[in-house]
Amino acid sequence: MLLETQRPTRLRAGFTLIEILVVVAILAILTALVAAGIGKVKNGQLSRNTEGTVTKLQQALDTQWKTVIDQCRKDSRGITSSSAAYNSVLTFCGNDSDRAMALWTYLNLKREFPQSFLEAINPVVLLNPTSGQPVVILLPRATFASVAVLPTVVAGGVTTSTASTAGLSTPGGVSVANQPVTTGIGTDEAESAILLFLALSEKASSGANFASDDAMKGAQTSLGTFRVFTDAWGAPIKFIRFANPTIASEIAQPPYLGSSADPIDTVGKLANAIPGTAWTPAQKAAALQALNFISSSSTVTGPNPAVSFGENKLPTVVAAGQKALGNGPAFQGSNFDDYFGYRYRRQGNK
């Protein structure tokens, strides 16, 4: 009988180097895909949170904005303590009530919503281009008095200096000459963020108020000695008083553009200046000079467009979002990765 002999089994030595490298590469790719997916989900949630915060702030800003406009209408009817000042503007406007109402509203919106410390603690002054004398002086609101105090130094480099107002006096004889004012903490964006918080949380103009602590818990932080609203990445949220097509061309188009080109001067009385008439180019230039943004910094930063009559303009809250990380509130103007409040409100000239 023949006996069948069993061949010995050849044992595998193990994985080759190439096989190990392939496995490692596959694991690395899977890890990267998972990390990217998690990061995308996280950034998407942060973006949605920021949109929600900006929308709430925009709603509050719109409410305060409308309150000021309603108050200006009351002033024009002679039933408030500011009616005498309105009448001075009416005379300057050639007794044209539509033109006077528009200019009076513009002047008050600048006083109620300053974008820089220098604007916040200086009066809004409309000068007569012929005499060089003030037509009207709107004194700064007590709401913003705290920015006149030198702030605590903020990380990132803070500069403070002083300036003085021109030698002016109110019609009632109250001198505003040579009052020292603080010129800011370094950037227009930081000052705008601080002033937005003050305007919405402390100012109660004609009963309009915003309970910031109740509505915005978790979306606040300290900037020096001041408080600011923040987006989901922790960057301060600022605002632009008169955002116009210079900021984004879409502002000049529906749904943001309403039935008239200028939502404040709805009949176009300020835009059309004709020499030798009741509204001359010199008067128009004086009005624009009173309304333009005044920077506290030696270098103007961020989107702060010059005011023009006859074009759409919207008050808007702005968040810089993720790109501001490590750089402060780095706003990019017309770049569409900023979070603009008017987009979420779909607000236009109504």
232-271 per-position pLDDT tens digit: 888 889 999 999 888 888 899 888 888 888 999 999 999 9
- Look at residue 2 and tell me if it is in a domain: no
Count the Cβ atoms, other than its own, within 10 Å of residue 300: 14
**Residue 20, domain member (yes or no):** no
Write down the pLDDT at residue 182. Answer: 41
pLDDT over threshold 80, residue 195:
yes
Higher pLDDT, 345 or 166: 345
Number of residues assigned to the chain: 350
State residue 298's pLDDT score. Answer: 56
pLDDT value at position 13?
62
Residue 8 lies in a domain: no
pLDDT at 2: 54
Whether 288 is covered by a domain: the verdict is: yes
Q: In terms of residue numbers, what domain contains 233?
A: 37-345
Strands 162-164 and 180-182: antiparallel
pLDDT band of 179, cuts 50, 70, 90: very low
The whole-angstrom separation of Cα 317 and Cα 58 is 6
Q: What is the structure's pLDDT at 177?
A: 36
Mean pLDDT of 273-285: 93
- Reported as a pLDDT band with limits 50, 70 and 90, residue 329 is very low
pLDDT band per the 50, 70, 90 thresholds, residue 205? very low
Q: What is the pLDDT of residue 346?
A: 64
Instruction: List the Cα angle 35/38/41 in 5-degree steps.
Output: 150
Q: Is 28 exposed, middle or buried (0-12, 13-18, 19+ CB in 10 A)?
A: exposed
Per-residue model confidence (pLDDT) at position 266: 92
What is the average per-residue pLDDT within 69-87? 92
The whole-number average pLDDT for the span 139-155 is 69
Mean pLDDT of 12-39: 79
Question: What average pLDDT does the segment 293-311 reach?
Answer: 72
> How many other C-beta atoms lie within 10 A of the C-beta of residue 13?
6
pLDDT at 114 over 90: yes
Query: In this model, does residue 336 exceed pLDDT 60?
Result: no
pLDDT value of residue 22: 86
**pLDDT confidence bin for 164, thresholds 50/70/90:** very low
Label residue 101 by pLDDT band (50, 70, 90): very high
CA distance 306 to 64: 22
Domain count for the chain: 1
What is the rounded CA–CA span in Å between residue 109 and residue 106?
Answer: 5
- Helices assigned H by DSSP within the chain: 17-76, 83-92, 97-112, 117-120, 188-201, 212-215, 281-291, 341-345
Q: Measuring CA to CA, which residue among 205, 288, 191 is closest to residue 239?
A: 191
Structure tokens at 231: 């987006």
CB 27 within 8 A of CB 35: no
Asked, for residue 219, whether it belongs to a domain, the answer is: yes
pLDDT at 39: 62
- Residue 216 covered by a domain: yes
Give yes or no for residue 170 having a pLDDT over 50: no
The two three-digit tokens of residue 15, written as one number: 């994985």
pLDDT at 99: 96
Contacts of residue 120, Cβ cutoff 8 Å, sequence gap at least 6:
114, 140, 141, 144, 147, 195
**pLDDT at residue 295 above 50?**
yes
Beta bridge partners of 239: 317
Which pLDDT does position 297 carry in this prediction?
A: 67
Using H for helix, E for strand and C for coil, what is the string for 299-322?
A: CCCCCCCCCCCCCCCEEEEEECHH
Say what the pLDDT of residue 132 is: 92
**CA angle (73 as vertex; 63, 241 as ends), nearest 5:** 45
Q: How far is CA 37 from CA 33, 40, 41, 323, in A?
A: 6, 5, 6, 19
N-to-C CA span, the chain: 109
Give yes or no for residue 121 having a pLDDT over 80.
yes
Q: Is residue 27 part of a domain?
A: no
pLDDT tens profile 28-56: 888 887 777 776 666 778 888 999 999 99
Q: What was the pLDDT predicted at 89? A: 97
Q: For the chain, what is the mean pLDDT?
A: 78
Give a yes or no: residue 320 inside a domain. Answer: yes
Give dist(CA 104, CA 100) in Å, integer: 6
